[in-house]
Amino acid sequence: MKRWTVQYVYMDAKGETRISIDHLSANTKEEARNKAAETSPAKDFMLTVQEESDDQTLGSVRRDALNKTRETKQLADILDPDKEA
């Protein structure tokens, strides 16, 4: 069984973009994605799943998650594109 790092990007109840990082065990990436989806911190979310390795550098998972939020502008715009600015 492999260890996986899961990065969630979601909106909290106040509409703020949040990042949550979790770790889980699964045999395949698909199984890890399914487990991650079942334990997501919010109803609407984006996630990435990466196999853990000894090559990871301190802070790289959080840095990657932060970069994803910058790339997507505001998560609220993605989840509710018809919302007026």
Dihedral Cα 48, 52, 58, 62, nearest 10 deg: 10
Query: Model confidence over 33-48: pLDDT tens digits?
Result: 999 999 998 888 999 9
**Tokens (6 digits) for 10:** 């979601």
pLDDT band at 53 (very low <50, low <70, confident <90, very high): confident
Please give the pLDDT value at position 57: 57
Please give the pLDDT value at position 43: 87
Grouping H, G, I as helix, E, B as strand and the rest as coil, residue 40 is coil
Instruction: Please check the confidence at residue 58 and state whether its pLDDT lies above 80.
Output: no
Instruction: Please check the confidence at residue 76 and state whether its pLDDT lies above 60.
Output: no
Residue located via tokens 């909106």 = 11
Please give the pLDDT value at position 79: 60
